[in-house]
Structure 1
């Protein structure tokens, strides 16, 4: 990033709640605890700030990425040349569409708006307290609402798109786009708008249609799904959750285990002995270690089973 570009970004953001930071190690912001440096990093607290920033980045020809909760990204060791953005403040809140904290009584559910930067855990907790059901299967997924919508995240037979009503996005030039569910094409681990993935836009907020339910029953279902997940996944180590997408009609973890790769290592990265679709950082893994191990897994599975595994983790 050029000096003039830095100075212009500092000038734009000098009175914002969070300062623009430069040369930031992204390992601190990734659940894999690995990754190179970003040229710049900032927390954005409001929609107007987000639009202004993206407008300036567009004029400067600088790239950007949103990192959400850092649970599904890996920045390569060569680093990222643009601005990493994390959504906070009003862009991480949950509220009834009607406002005042009250639910919207509709015959087929209540409309709830969640900021793109809101953690899935916070969103589910809010819905549980309000007695709203429909996304309990997401319990334990360590991501953000925006990231989950972008990849149509799911688990245990459900997908977040099943409850999606509409999305509010900001495009690369800073323009606001409101997209109803009918204009989105949702498929396995993918959300597309007009035939293109949502890579070029930021999900500022998403609206969901939730069903009324009994608070204790909702809490019990969340606890049950969380227990299922904890019993089958590695604990106490850095990971990005499921590393590969499941191929049609099969499971990536089954294929990797059948290939004899559980416990296989590359530097500080290892295929988890607990669940083969988890690549974990055993302590001092570099992004290169993780990517090399990823490629070794892909090559072995392809040779043994003629199946190409596609990473679920976004490589930046």
Structure 2
């Protein structure tokens, strides 16, 4: 990022609740507690701020990534030349949609893209709204979960998705109904052309908010269900160490953790990065691992599993 680009971003955000930060280590912004430096980082609190900021980035020819809660990203030690965006304020709130939006007994709920999944599920429980209990214990933000169609224990967030509100590089707000999306395992794609008759790539947009179809239920039953899902996750996954959750996507008809364990890689280390002895599909940072350590271990796991089982594991974690 050159001086002129820095000055433009600094000027735009001068009176915002959060001003631009430059040359930021991403170690504190990743649940893996590792990563290189980003040229810039900003917290954005409102939809108009987001629109103005994306327009400025476009004019300055700067790339960006929204990092949510940092639970599924790893910035390489080379660093990121653009701006990391975190959605805050209005863009992390939850609220029910107008009463007339109720469809077939289901209530539409709007959650900001920056809202943590934990906060969202807690709100749903208190309101007696069911449908996403299986997401309990999954870290990250609503926007990030939607972008990768996150899921667990047989469910996916896309099962309850109604529509998205996105912002493009030109600052335009685009309403995307569920019918215009193709959701598959850990992937979301647009079908055809959306808005301005141009093809869209979800990676080029920011998910400002998402609406979900939820089912009115009994608060205590929903809370009990969430508690049960959380207990199942905690009993099988490492705790007390830095990780990004499941590191690899499950190949069709199999489980990445089973393959990695069968390859004898539980406990295998590279520097201070380790394949968890608790669950083989977790790469954990046992101390001060670098991003290079984690990526080297990832490649070693991929190569060993491929040699033994002719299966190429794909990372679920986004490498930036």
- Alpha-carbon separation, structure 2, partners of 1:31 and 1:220: 27
Give the structure 1 partner of residue 197 of structure 2.
none
> Deviation at 1:107?
2.6
**Which of 90, 108, 133 is matched with 1:111 structurally?**
108
Give the structure 2 partner of residue 180 of structure 1.
177
1:132 aligns with 2:129: yes
- Alpha-carbon separation, structure 2, partners of 1:106 and 1:65: 34
**Which of 135, 143, 146 is matched with 2:143 structurally?**
146
Give the structure 1 partner of residue 195 of structure 2.
none
Q: Following superposition, which runs of at least 4 residues in structure 1 exceed 2 angstroms of deviation?
A: 102-108, 194-197
- Alpha-carbon separation, structure 1, partners of 2:100 and 2:184: 29
- Alpha-carbon separation, structure 2, partners of 1:74 and 1:103: 42
- Alpha-carbon separation, structure 1, partners of 2:257 and 2:211: 32
- Alpha-carbon separation, structure 2, partners of 1:103 and 1:121: 27
Given that residues 44 and 85 in structure 1 are in contact (C-alpha distance below 8 angstroms), is that contact kept between their aligned partners in structure 2? yes
Give the structure 1 partner of residue 9 of structure 2.
9
Tell me the SS of whatever aligns to 1:232.
coil
- Alpha-carbon separation, structure 2, partners of 1:308 and 1:133: 37
- Alpha-carbon separation, structure 1, partners of 2:8 and 2:174: 26
> Deviation at 1:104?
5.7
**Which of 154, 159, 175 is matched with 1:157 structurally?**
154
> Deviation at 1:103?
9.5
Give the structure 1 partner of residue 272 of structure 2.
268
1:234 aligns with 2:231: no
Q: Any stretches of 5+ residues in structure 2 without a counterpart?
A: 193-199
> Deviation at 1:172?
2.2
Give the structure 1 partner of residue 215 of structure 2.
211
Q: Structure 1 residues 243 and 194, CA, compared in 2 at 3 Å: closer, same or farther?
A: same
Paired residues in the alignment total: 313
- Alpha-carbon separation, structure 2, partners of 1:64 and 1:104: 34
> Deviation at 1:194?
3.2
- Alpha-carbon separation, structure 2, partners of 1:105 and 1:165: 12
Q: Could you tell me the TM-score, scaled by structure 2's length?
A: 0.96
Tell me the SS of whatever aligns to 2:208.
strand
Instruction: Map residues 1-316 of structure 1 onto 2, 5 A cutoff.
Output: 1-98=1-98, 105-194=102-191, 197-316=201-320
Given that residues 190 and 197 in structure 1 are in contact (C-alpha distance below 8 angstroms), is that contact kept between their aligned partners in structure 2? no
Q: Structure 1 residues 170 and 140, CA, compared in 2 at 3 Å: closer, same or farther?
A: same
> Deviation at 1:108?
3.2
> Deviation at 1:4?
0.6
Q: Any stretches of 5+ residues in structure 1 without a counterpart?
A: none
Q: CA RMSD in A?
A: 1.1
> Deviation at 1:197?
4.8
